[in-house]
Amino acid sequence: MAVTTAPAGRRRISKRQLRDWIAGYLFASPFIIGFSVFIAFPMLYSVYLIFVEWDLLSPPSFVGFANLARMFKDPKVNLSLYNSAFYTIFAVPIQLTISFTLALALTQRIRFRDFYRAGFYMPIIVPLVASAVVWQRVLHPEFGILNEALGWFGFEPRMWLFEPKLTKPAFIFMSFWMIGRQMVIFIAGLGNIPDSLKEAASLDGAGAWGQLRYVVLPLMTPLIFYNSVIAIINSFQTFVPAMIMTEGGPQDATLFVVLNIYRNAFQYFNMGYASALAWELFVIVVGFTLVQFYLSNRWVYYEEGD
Amino acid sequence: MRSDRQAQGALATGWQSSAAELQAGGTLRRRQDEGSRSGWERVRLAALQLFMTFLVITFLVPTFWMISSSLKVSTEVFAHPIVWLPQDPHWNNYVKAFQLLPLTRFIVNTLIIVLFAVVGTVVSSALVAYSFARISWPGRNFWFGLLLATMMLPDVVTLVPRFLIFKNLKWIDTWLPLIVPYWGGIGAIYVFLMRQFFRGIPMELEDAAEIDGANRMRVLIQILLPLSKPVIATVAVFALLQHYNDFMNPLIYINSMDKWPLALGIRAYNDSYAKNWEVVFAASTVMLTPMVAIFIVAQRYFVQGIAMTGFGGR
Per-residue confidence in pLDDT tens, chain B, 314 aa:
333 333 333 323 222 333 444 444 444 444 444 445 678 888 989 999 999 999 999 999 999 999 999 999 988 989 888 888 998 899 999 999 999 999 999 999 999 999 999 999 999 999 999 999 988 889 999 999 999 888 878 888 899 999 999 999 999 999 999 999 999 988 888 999 899 889 888 888 777 776 665 688 888 888 889 999 889 998 998 899 999 999 999 999 999 999 999 999 999 999 999 889 999 999 999 999 999 999 888 887 877 776 666 543 32
Q: Could you tell me which chain B residue has the CA closest to the CA of A45?
A: B161
A289 → closest Cβ in B45, B152, B281? B152
Lowest mean pLDDT among A23-37, A172-186, B204-218: B204-218
Q: Are the beta carbons of A161 and A136 closer than 8 angstroms?
A: yes
Asked if residue A155 and residue A40 are part of one domain, the reply reads no
Q: How many domains does chain B have?
A: 1
Asked if residue A98 and residue A222 are part of one domain, the reply reads yes
Residue A234 resides in a domain: yes
Q: pLDDT for A107-158, tens place per residue?
A: 888 888 888 998 999 998 999 999 999 999 999 998 999 999 999 999 998 9
Contact residues on chain A for B133, CB-CB shorter than 8 A: none
Q: How many domains does chain A have?
A: 2
Cβ of residue A185 closer than 8 Å to a chain B Cβ: yes
Q: C-alpha dihedral over A27, A33, A36, A42, to 10 degrees?
A: -140
Residue A306 resides in a domain: no
Q: Are the beta carbons of A46 and B161 closer than 8 angstroms?
A: yes
Can you give the pLDDT at residue B210?
67
CA-nearest of B247, B245, B234 to B312 is B234
Residue A120 resides in a domain: yes
Q: Are the beta carbons of B152 and A289 closer than 8 angstroms?
A: yes
Asked if residue A203 and residue A182 are part of one domain, the reply reads yes
CA distance A264 to A276: 10
CA distance B46 to chain A (A): 8
Residue B225 resides in a domain: yes
Residue B192 resides in a domain: yes
Look up the CATH number of the domain holding residue B120.
1.10.3720.10
Asked if residue A263 and residue A223 are part of one domain, the reply reads yes
Residue A167 resides in a domain: yes
Contact residues on chain A for B51, CB-CB shorter than 8 A: 105
Residue B266 resides in a domain: yes
φ, ψ for residue A52, nearest 5 deg? -125, 165
Asked if residue A53 and residue A145 are part of one domain, the reply reads no
Can you give the pLDDT at residue B3?
37
Contact residues on chain B for A43, CB-CB shorter than 8 A: 157-158, 161
Can you give the pLDDT at residue A194?
83
CA distance A233 to B157: 13
Can you give the pLDDT at residue A12?
67
φ, ψ for residue A53, nearest 5 deg? -110, 130
B310 → closest Cβ in A20, A119, A223? A223
Report which DSSP code applies to A53.
Answer: E
Cβ of residue A103 closer than 8 Å to a chain B Cβ: yes
Task: State mean pLDDT over A194-203.
Answer: 82
Asked if residue A247 and residue A204 are part of one domain, the reply reads yes
Residue B58 resides in a domain: no
Confidence check: pLDDT of A213 > 50: yes
Residue A9 resides in a domain: no
Asked if residue A182 and residue A39 are part of one domain, the reply reads no
Asked if residue A43 and residue A83 are part of one domain, the reply reads no
Lowest mean pLDDT among A32-46, A202-216, B3-17: B3-17
Look up the CATH number of the domain holding residue A185.
1.10.3720.10
Asked if residue A191 and residue A103 are part of one domain, the reply reads yes
The dihedral sign for the CA sequence A218, A219, A222, A228? negative
Can you give the pLDDT at residue B80?
80
Residue B310 resides in a domain: no
Q: ipTM of this model? A: 0.87
Can you give the pLDDT at residue B219?
85
Print the domain residue range for B160.
101-272
Q: Which of residues 57-86 of A touch B (CB under 8 A)?
A: none
The tally of CA atoms less than 13 A away on the side-chain side of residue B298 is: 23
Residue A117 resides in a domain: yes
Can you give the pLDDT at residue B4?
36
Asked if residue A52 and residue A134 are part of one domain, the reply reads no
Q: Could you tell me the CA-to-CA distances from B310 to A226, A295, A297, B152, B193 in Å, in that order?
A: 7, 20, 19, 14, 11
Cβ of residue A200 closer than 8 Å to a chain B Cβ: no
* Of the residues A27, A43, A67, the one at which a domain ends: A67
CA distance B132 to chain A (A): 7
SS (H, E, C) chain B: CCCHHHHHHHHHHHHHHHHHHHHHCCHHHHHHCCCCCCHHHHHHHHHHHHHHHHHHHHHHHHHHHHHHHCCCCHHHHCCCCCCCCCCCCCCHHHHHHHHHCCHHHHHHHHHHHHHHHHHHHHHHHHHHHHHHHHCCCCCHHHHHHHHHHHCCCCHHHHHHHHHHHHHHCCCCCCCHHHHHHHHHCCCHHHHHHHHHHHHCCCCHHHHHHHHCCCCHHHHHHHHHHHHCHHHHHHHHHHHHHHHHHCCHHHHHHCCCHHHCCHHHHHHHHHHHCCCCHHHHHHHHHHHHHHHHHHHHHHHHHHHHHHHHHHHHCC
Residue B295 resides in a domain: no
Print the domain residue range for A57.
18-67
Q: Are the beta carbons of A180 and A94 closer than 8 angstroms?
A: no
Average pLDDT, chain A: 89
Residue B13 resides in a domain: no
Residue B62 resides in a domain: no
∠B294-B306-B295 over CA atoms, to 5°?
10
CA distance A36 to B164: 16
pLDDT band of residue A303 (cuts 50, 70, 90) is low
